Structure 1
Amino acid sequence: MSERGGLREMRAPRRWAVWGTTAWAAGILVLLVVLPLSMREFYGDRLATHWGGSGKPDGSLPLWAAAVAPAAVWAVLAAVAVFWRAARRWRAAVLVSGGVLLAGGQVSIVRANLHHADWRDAAPVSVGAVVTVFAAAAAGCVAWRVSRRPATAPASRGQGARMEIPEGERRVWLSRTANPWLRLVAAVTGAVAAVAPLVGTGGATASMWLLIVPFAVASAAVLVCSSVRVRVGERGVDVAFGPLGWPVRRWDAADVEWARAERRTPAQVGGWGYRLSGLGTTVMLRAGECLVIRAGGKNFAVSVDDAERGAALLNSLAGARTEGT
């Protein structure tokens, strides 16, 4: 591998981190401003923004201020997290937890004010506040665990060893991996989607879908990426996702150019779950050994145990298929 190629691959995770941070910051900013303004026909010119111990609103802001104030707080928070070098260690946790907290708070405020011309009649937000704080804390913990892992240099580009298979024998390799933190995130977001219709009126109103749909989709997506099962056999390799083993990605042995074991970290590939980076596609469930498959000119990696043995078997099967054609 050339020095230039190695530097390019080492810089790829940084580029993805920059783009990811930019997209997250911009997305939260847009949500904070657009959400209350887009629903202005369903409430008055002032929104309840503070509730007392009795659950009754005791403070309000004009509609424009209710949109601008949290956006300004987010802009300052994001700027400090990004540009203050002393905060670099906590940057991911601050941005993720702060974004979830402000976005959840804005959703709760908008929902509480819907269909109330007078802000004094706004609904309570106690349940939404508790859910938002819990979700922000969980998201911050996950982001901190990801960001504190140091990046490592890419592994060598060898094509991997082969396994000696005696004539007449058939061999199969299986490996499973699950990430309990991703399962926790899926459970939390799924609980938010399930509990939302029960809050307030006891039924899912139009405003609640602003909360239900994003959390339900996020829960399903995270759950699918929280576990993986890899099988290498005579047909090739199958990678099954989620507790139900679906969806499944398959490669025929004849289409595999090579396979190898390689150590990767979430910091290298841009986080947990199904990631796209300069290293190709990676299913990152835990830092460490990954099975890397080269097929169709693209790399696919999945973090599973005993990856070296699986790669050796796949190389042997791929070589046998190629030689037999």
Structure 2
Amino acid sequence: MTERGRRSAAAWGAVGWCVGVLALLVALPPAASSRLPERLATHWNAGSGRPDGSMALWAAALFPALVWVLLTAVVMVALRRAGSGAGGAIPGWAVASLGFGGVMLLGGQASIVRANLDHADWHDADSVTSWVVGTLVVATTVGSIGFLAARRAPSQTPPATDGPVLDLPAGQRLIWLARTSNPWLQAVSAVTGLLAIAVVVGVLAGLAESVAVLAATPFALACALVLGCSSVQARVSERGLDVTFGPLGWPGRHWALEDIESARTENRTPAQVGGWGYRLSGLGTTVMLRSGECLVIRTGRDKDFAVSVDDADQAAALLNALSARHGR
């Protein structure tokens, strides 16, 4: 995928997260309105843990939504002034802010609804201390993961050389790096992730029994698996070939130079290898994220491994040159 394509995929992912959080914030109180008092307890005394402030149901639905809109607007303005980060990528602070803020607001909204649920008067609402603490822990974790994932994403792909065959001068070290993403797989991961979040938020808010969390499990697993297969990064260096998956670069596979018999390029399509993602077929193992040129290595066990990345001919040339230098 080109740099422009990576920026577009990241932007659509951010938009999907912002819209999904906004929809859940607004929809949660009305969804439970038949079991809520006319006014909802929205503030609790830090000492006693008893409610000491309230809002009308419509206000309780709109206030966190407005806070979220304000937060996203501030992040967007800051990104515009900063030029959207180096190379057009979304910087880690922006990802962390949206992740932390979204989870905090969703957790807070779910806590408020649950505390007021099945009470005739907001003064009788339950305490939210434990829920707030739990939300803070989860939000911090999500923000940290988002920050680390954004920092790992390369802003550009440095070419190793212009030709398909390299003549490496003695003592010179070259590194080739490429990253490919599939926006459709990322979209599927985002949709299944939002569905899982919606189910969990509904359970936390008391709108469904705890056993309903099991319904979120398939969506959460699908989100994690598809996200892990939606992007790949390949790196050729003196160590050999490293291929890592997902936004965090984990899991990954490594081949030392002595384990690689040869490297070449080959055009492959999803139809040839059996679909998208991590595929096993008669052609060997293929990480298929887009049709076209793939880097293919033949290992010492006469097995092929292919990954669809740009400038695969440069990677193959560098791998063959490095193997020759090491006396393959």
Q: CA separation in 2, counterparts of 1:96 and 1:210?
A: 26
- Rounded to whole Å, the distance in 2 between the matches of 1:63 and 1:57 is 16
> Structure 1 unaligned runs (5+)?
1-7, 160-188, 229-259, 273-283, 320-325
Instruction: Check conservation: 2:117, 2:206, Cα contact below 8 A.
Output: no
Unpaired segments ≥5 residues, structure 2: 86-90, 165-195, 230-239, 256-262, 280-286, 288-295, 306-328
Give the paired residue count.
Answer: 223
Q: Match for 1:12 among 5, 13, 31?
A: 5
The match for 2:115 is 112
Partner amino acid, structure 1, of 2:56: P
Task: Specify the SS of the correspondent of 2:53.
Answer: strand
**Residues in 2 aligned to 1:95 and 1:134: alpha-carbon distance in whole angstroms:** 15
Q: Does the CA-based 8 Å contact 1:151-1:265 persist in structure 2? A: no
Name the CA shift for 1:205/1:101 in 2 (closer, same or farther; >3 Å): closer
Task: Name which of 15, 24, 38 aligns with 1:22.
Answer: 15
Give structure 1 regions of 4+ aligned residues with deviation exceeding 3 angstroms.
86-89, 204-228, 260-266, 286-295, 297-302, 314-319
> 2: CA distance between counterparts of 1:35 and 1:205?
11
Q: Mapping of 1:184-199 within 5 angstroms?
A: none
1:147 Cα deviation from its structure 2 partner:
1.0
Name the residue aligned to 1:84: 78
Compute the TM-score of the two structures, normalised by the length of structure 1. 0.55
1:311 matched to which residue of 2? 297
**What root-mean-square deviation, in Å, do the aligned CA atoms of Structure 1 and Structure 2 show?**
4.6
Q: Is the 8 A contact 2:22 2:68 kept in 1?
A: yes
Distance 2:32 2:78 in 1: 36
Q: Can you list the C-alpha shifts for 1:125-161, whole angstroms capped at 9, x where unaligned? A: 11111110000000000000011233331879x99xx
TM-score, reference length from structure 2? 0.55
User: What amino acid is the match of 2:24?
Assistant: L
Aligned counterparts, 1:157-168, within 5 A? none
Shift in alpha-carbon separation, 1:73–1:40, aligned structure 2, 3 A: same
Report the CA distance shift for 1:44/1:227 in structure 2 as closer, same or farther (over 3 A): closer
Q: Give the AA of the match of 1:117.
A: A
- Over the matched positions of the two proteins, sequence identity in percent amounts to 34
Distance 1:128 1:16 in 2: 33
- 1:76/1:223 CA distance change after superposition, 3 Å: closer
Measure the CA separation in 2 of the matches of 1:314 and 1:299: 26
8 A Cα contact 1:45 1:63, kept in partner:
yes
Secondary structure, in 3 states, of the residue corresponding to 1:95? Answer: helix
User: Does residue 157 of structure 2 align to residue 153 of structure 1?
Assistant: yes
Q: Secondary structure at the match of 1:50?
A: strand
Give the conservation status (yes or no) of the 8 Å contact 2:297–2:304. Answer: no
Q: Secondary structure at the match of 2:120?
A: coil
**One-letter code aligned to 1:111:** R
SS of residue in 1 equivalent to 2:40: strand
Maintained 8 Å contact 1:111/1:208: no
State the shift of 1:300 in Å. 4.0
Structure 2 matches for 1:225-244, cutoff 5 A?
none
Task: Give the CA deviation at 1:311.
Answer: 3.4
